Amino acid sequence: MIRRALFRSKYGDLVLFSILALCWGTSFVAIEIGLEYVPPLLFAGLRYGVAGLIVLGYAAVVTDRFRPIDRAEWLSVGVAGIFLIAIYHALLYLGELYVSGAIAATVASTAPILTAAFAGAVLPREQLSLAGVVGLVLGLLGVVAVVRPSPTGLETELLLGAGLVFGAAIAFAVGTVLTRPLDAGLPLETLQAWAMLIGAAVLLVGAPLRGERLAAIDVTSTALLSFTYLTLVSSVFAFLLYFQLLDRAGPTQVALVGYAEPAVAIGVSWVLLGYVVDSLTILGLLTILAGFAAIKRRHLARVVDTLFEEESDQRPSVGSRLPQEPSEARTDGGTPQEADAVGAERSAD
């Protein structure tokens, strides 16, 4: 019998999960549309510059520290800003010059798998098990199914775009793992805001080096709508929602949003742009999801187990029963933060 309180919260979490997946899944399509009018690095830099200022204002209101104060804290936000905002979004936006938002979302969904693989390579306590290695292989096979390398012109362009997005996923993995030992104790909202601002600065410096100019921006109603949506909905509103869902459901459940995003992107691409993905792309996405399930199998099993446990007054709440793990950075510009519990059990996933 499902506990009544859990039953009520489960559907509340499901609503938050669905809204978050919608906000972030549609962002890939909004980027694709906006790139018709705005150069990629300028587009990403301006988006996160504005979003960072808004989130910083929010952090100043709801937290006790709205800026880093020592070297460790500046190092933490610097690594997050450079890898998770600047490099990730530079490669993502450049990649979407060649592939659709639906394809980009599918390839980017390998990021949590690559994070686990990179963590296993450099952090002794997180070495991949055999099932983890299988998960990594499945993730890579999923990308191959999406890209389908071919010498013809169209497939070569697809390969270039997918390669850039896959590079973005690698940057995500590296940035996520590098920030784990740098837990500076900053509130997540403050860390997020400064990472956005630092990442935006790097992107805006890089834009002219690539030859991008403000004069190249074609200011149309579509461009303004895309920019406003990405800034206010996908970057500000969605991250405030993410903070709440992370507190309620925990990092493993929230990580599953990344696998709903491609489905949303595929549906929105079809509705707005008439773009239809083929069966191999769907197969690739399912293969990537299977890879994630293999790597996170134990935490996922605990989540399912908890949902259907019998009611007992002596049992703790859902969030407290699940062993904590570091929350993953978001592939839409989020930053990781270690779980609050001191000495929390680490899984062997």
Query: How far is it, in rounded angstroms, from Cα 267 to Cα 148?
Result: 21
Q: Find out whether 300 and 293 touch, Cβ atoms under 8 Å.
A: yes
- Report yes or no on 177 lying in a domain: yes
Per-residue pLDDT of the chain (349 residues), as tens digits, is 444 444 445 566 778 888 888 999 999 999 999 999 999 999 999 999 999 999 999 999 999 889 998 888 899 899 999 999 999 999 999 999 999 999 999 899 888 888 888 887 777 676 667 777 887 788 888 888 887 665 554 567 888 999 999 999 999 889 888 887 776 678 888 999 999 999 999 999 999 999 999 999 999 999 999 999 999 999 999 888 887 777 776 666 666 777 788 888 888 888 888 888 888 888 888 888 887 778 767 666 665 665 555 444 444 443 333 444 545 555 555 555 433 332 333 233 3
Residue-level pLDDT at 331 = 53
CA distance 288 to 140: 7
End-to-end CA distance of the chain: 29
Cβ neighbours of residue 216 closer than 8 Å, sequence gap 6 or more:
38, 39, 42
In a domain, 336, yes or no: no
Task: At 337, give phi and psi (nearest 5°).
Answer: -150, 135
The answer as to whether 174 is a domain residue is: yes
pLDDT value of residue 186: 84
- Identify whether 329 is part of a domain: no
- 333 inside domain: no
pLDDT at 303: 58
Instruction: Please report the sign of the dihedral spanned by the C-alpha atoms of residue 12, residue 17, residue 20, residue 21.
Output: negative
Task: Write down the pTM of the prediction.
Answer: 0.80
pLDDT in tens, 98-134: 999 999 998 998 888 888 888 877 776 766 677 778 8
Residue 184: CB atoms within 10 A of its CB come to 18
Residue 337 lies in a domain: no
Q: What are the backbone dihedrals phi and psi of residue 139, each rounded to the nearest 5 degrees, phi first? A: -60, -45
**Residue 50 domain boundaries:** 4-321
| 166 half-sphere exposure, CB direction, 13 A CA radius | 15
> What kind and span of H or E run contains 316?
none
Count of beta carbons in the 10 Å neighbourhood of residue 37 = 17
Q: How many domains does the chain have?
A: 1
Structure tokens at 130: 């055999």
- Residue 74 included in any domain: yes
Vertex 104, ends 16 and 82: CA angle to 5°?
80
| 36 in any annotated domain | yes
Report the DSSP beta bridge partners of residue 327.
337
Return d(Cα 84, Cα 44) in angstroms, integer: 12
